[in-house]
A and B are shown apart, each in its own frame.
Chain A
Amino acid sequence: MLTGRILSARVGTLVLTLWLVSILVFFAGQVLPGDVGRVMLGPFADAQAVAELNKRLGADQPVLVQYWLWFSKAVTGDFGTSLSMRAPVAPFVLESLKRSAALAGIILIFLIPLGVGGGVIAGLNAGRIIDRLIVMAGVSFGIVPDFVSGLMLLIVFGLWLNWFPISGVAPDGAGFWTHGYYLILPALPLVLNLAGYIARMTRAGVIEAMAADYTRTAVLKGLEPGEIILRHVLRNALTPTIAVLATQTGYMLGGLVVIEALFGIQGLGNLVLNAAKARDFPMLEAGVLVMAAIFVLSAAVGDLVLALLDPRQRRRTSS
């Protein structure tokens, strides 16, 4: 079956890509100045203490040996112990992944209705004032960098109006809704950034679908306008939008370093950034691999959606 073949090819690609990424991370790490021991003990530490620490951590062994030691364990699912945190890597990565996923979830909850809804309304009213307003708003918010909008939201809603907590981290033992509430403010800059983009995609799709032969046929058949929009227009118009959303989700799960820093969320982006700074190789490898896996998977999901929902695209994706 076509889908099955695409799927198995995708899995193969994923594994290959991850392996290449792991090599890239490892050897890129070798060009960084300073070593683990020096970074951990600081510039003012005694050279002998640094050497001892490197020896203990295995950082004094040849590069290939270090990579093999890591790789032979990683394939069995053991990602090792963090050099700087002195604890197994996996719980740290999972914890960060969970936080990043929660943030991405909240972003999507706002982004989908706003972006898709706005795009559909604009597309159906193409050329009218409401269309222009929606497109204009989307573009305006889209060009404000997330650190600028994040700051403004923080000041206005967090500090002046006091509607939202200015930290993205709910206190211990907080419930599901509280956690969500704390993530609203951090989510908004990204929602504002992407809503215009999603709306434009949807709008273009809707306009194209409205002009398409199958819609004309449906109109000629005398179907209800509501039914035409739902069954014909939306179904065809949303396919590229869903694909784009899938790709963007990959980015949301790791690319939000600025938002994570502003709101103190210990997400994947921060984990990887700090691991790179600390030369914490096992942590860096695990974090980057998770991010890469999510990226590849979400891109694959986007392609699959196209392939499954849109017969016109099938040929292209399988290539």
Chain B
Amino acid sequence: MTKRRDIDALRNLSGDVWNVAVDEYQGGFLKRRDLLKYAALLGLTGFAASQGLGGARAAAAAGGTVRVGLGQPTKAIDPVSLTDPASIGVISQVGEYLILDDPKDGLQPKLALSWEADETASRWTFKLRPGVKFHNGRAVTGRDVVASFERLVDPASGSSALSAYKGILSKGGAKLVDDETVAFDLDGPNSNFPFYVSSDVYNAVILPADYAGDFEKNFNGTGPFKLESFRPKQGASFVRNEDYWGDKALPDRVEIKFFDDEQAQVLALQAGQLDVIPSTTRLELAIEGNPNFKLLSVQASSHDQVHLRTDQAPFTDKRIRRALALTIDREAVVKGLLKGRAIVGNDTPFAPIFPSADPSVPQRKQDIAEAKRLLGEAGVPNGFEVTLTTERAYDIPDYAVIIQNFARKAGIDVKLNVLPQDAYYGSATFGSSPWLDSVLGITDYGHRGTPDIFLNATLKSSGAWNAAHFSNPAYDALLLDYSKARDLQAQRLVAGKIQTLLLDETPAIISYFSQYSRIVSSKVEGVRFTAISHLLLDRVSFVQA
């Protein structure tokens, strides 16, 4: 336990909201790491840095070329419209955000130096880092930052971040205060707003105000590397940015190669032609036990949501929904399907990594007898037949097979309909999308820094991704309470109620939260990445053989 004097020192750092967190920390409810993460959210960046966050910088040798394998970007690389992990991996070499959401250390100031909210948390002010230059030599000003966010909330710009900002930030909300200060007037109070200007919204790269959508021409950003050459569909290479505002990158160069086939990447890695590749469970099995490679993982809030259509037979009865959820042995799924690189989920988007999640809500466990009892109560003692529709991506087809086998134990006969990704999402609107229309389906959701978007979009009655067609006034009301809650304790109180309600209603089964991994050669050290595919290579060094 930290000494009394240190606690007092902590209290002096900020106001009430902060002090509640310190109380929790002192009382043992909040882990030290969570406290530090919370400090960053409030803009207490100096405190976080003084605690040694931002990564210990071991003296490592500069030089060398890092060779990276990535998937094939699905379209021209443009920070404003990108959606795919490969493009995110590429832009993280050259582009930067106001804040980096580091999976280990939480929010890290990058182009923003510090930030603070007004009393209602509906106006946030960001101080910008002075002396930052774009790769073409021009200095970054508040105008560039305002333009970058105005672009993202403008439907006409082809921005794919529009849905992330819906109800939070609208056109005209970003305002220039002076050359080094920017303010955001939000659509409503939001105490988690710093996450929305962080790398969590991967489109929020700070670009020049006069950016014309032609990113591939020069990859003009502020990052530690700058473009050397780019060949569409083939790959790209980057060299150290000697004018970088922070510590200069250690490697001389980064070489990225695009692959259409994931397994071709592991072959190239094994042949010594690559140093870093994305990871999937299958690829991990290929390198398992091989000392030449290592698997780096960070815990994420990414999960595969199994939705149960609450407005269609057989899932109109919540007992039947609960019964299906009870058939699943979550520990087995985590151990077997995900090789232990995941944590068990409790049918709620509140992943244990979110500080606001209430850990006291009991974990749902496999209970076939109870499942059978519920089915009997609901009038289907011998089970029923249902089709599980999903996409052929990642481990999802295997997960579907596992659900099929578990469900059989309670007499539920699950038929599988595995579609290609395109076909599963269809036109992504109700009525013409197997994703949103199927009675039972599995959808993969990538990592987010806060549970907000999962809670709002996938389960609120008006949610755009509400595949469960869940319409529960009590839930919608709790959600409102949650977004208004200003301190952690208040948030956690509402979170507990939401978690309990979701367990009772079970509009969705979330049986695990996966880790995000990369496979790297043992010859390289210092590869860092976020849970949404940013690949940070500026601290990479080579182990001398």
Contacts and interface: CB of A to CB of B under 8 A. Distances in A.
Contacts of B267: 154, 158-159, 166
A171 to B, nearest CB: 9
B87 to A, nearest CB: 11
Contact of A43 (B75, B156, B213, B435): B435
Interface in A252-268: 260-264, 266
A317 interface: no
B83 interface: yes
Given A45-B83, A87-B232, A158-B271, A38 B264 contact: no
A41 interface: yes
Contact of B427 (A38, A84, A87, A270): A38
Interface stretch (A16-24, A46-54, A203-211, A285-293): A46-54
Nearest to A167: B268
Contacts of B84: 42
Given A33-B423, A45-B83, A84 B158 contact: no
Contact of B155 (A34, A49, A84): A49
B264 A92 contact: no
B465 interface: yes
Interface in A44-98: 44-49, 51-53, 56, 82, 84-87, 92
Contacts of A165: 271, 273
Given A39-B422, A84-B75, A84-B76, A264 B156 contact: no
Given A40-B81, A266-B233, A52 B428 contact: no
A43 B425 contact: yes
Contacts of B432: 33
Interface residues of A, number: 44
Nearest to B267: A166
B232 A43 contact: no
A32 to B, nearest CB: 8
A307 interface: no
B155 A92 contact: no
Given A38-B428, A85-B76, A92-B233, A277 B422 contact: yes
Given A39-B422, A159-B267, A46 B259 contact: no
B162 A261 contact: no
Contact of A278 (B75, B160, B229, B271): B75
A57 to B, nearest CB: 9
A188 interface: no
A201 interface: no
A43 B81 CA distance: 13
A40 B75 contact: yes
A102 B102 CA distance: 45
Contacts of A313: none
Contact of A86 (B76, B273, B457): B76
Contacts of B271: 158-159, 162, 165-166
Given A41-B160, A52-B155, A166-B271, A264 B259 contact: yes
| Chain B interface bracket (under 10, 10 to 19, 20 to 34, 35 or more) | 35 or more
A224 interface: no
Contacts, number: 126
Nearest to A277: B422
A310 interface: no
Interface string A149-170: 0000010001100100111010
Nearest to B274: A167
A169 B81 contact: no
Given A166-B267, A274-B72, A46 B428 contact: no
Nearest to A270: B260
B76 A264 contact: no
B67 to A, nearest CB: 11
Nearest to B215: A86
Interface in B402-445: 422-423, 425-429, 432-433, 435
A42 B273 contact: no
Contacts of A169: 234
B273 A167 contact: yes
Contact of B426 (A34, A41, A49): A34
A264 B160 contact: no
B31 interface: no
Contacts of B163: 44-46, 49
Given A40-B81, A159-B267, A169-B234, A34 B261 contact: no
A42 B422 contact: no
B72 A52 contact: no
A42 B465 CA distance: 13
Given A84-B76, A154-B267, A166-B273, A264 B260 contact: yes
A255 to B, nearest CB: 16
The listed residue with most B CB atoms (<10 A of its CB), out of A46, A47, A264, A278, is A264
The listed residue with most A CB atoms (<10 A of its CB), out of B84, B428, B457, is B428
Contacts of B232: 85, 87, 92
A206 B337 CA distance: 58
B159 interface: yes
A174 to B, nearest CB: 13
Nearest to A51: B155
B159 A49 contact: yes
Contact of B234 (A262, A266, A278): A266
Nearest to A96: B233
A45 B450 CA distance: 18
A42 B75 CA distance: 11
B270 interface: yes
A189 to B, nearest CB: 14
B166 interface: yes
Interface string B196-215: 00000000000000000110
Closest A-B pairs by Cβ, 10 of them:
A43-B425, A84-B75, A42-B83, A46-B162, A43-B428, A46-B163, A86-B76, A48-B155, A49-B162, A41-B160
Given A47-B429, A49-B163, 10 more contacts: A33-B422, A33-B432, A41-B160, A45-B160, A49-B160, A85-B76, A162-B271, A261-B261, A264-B264, A266-B233
8 contacts: A33-B422, A40-B75, A40-B81, A56-B156, A86-B216, A158-B271, A261-B260, A264-B257
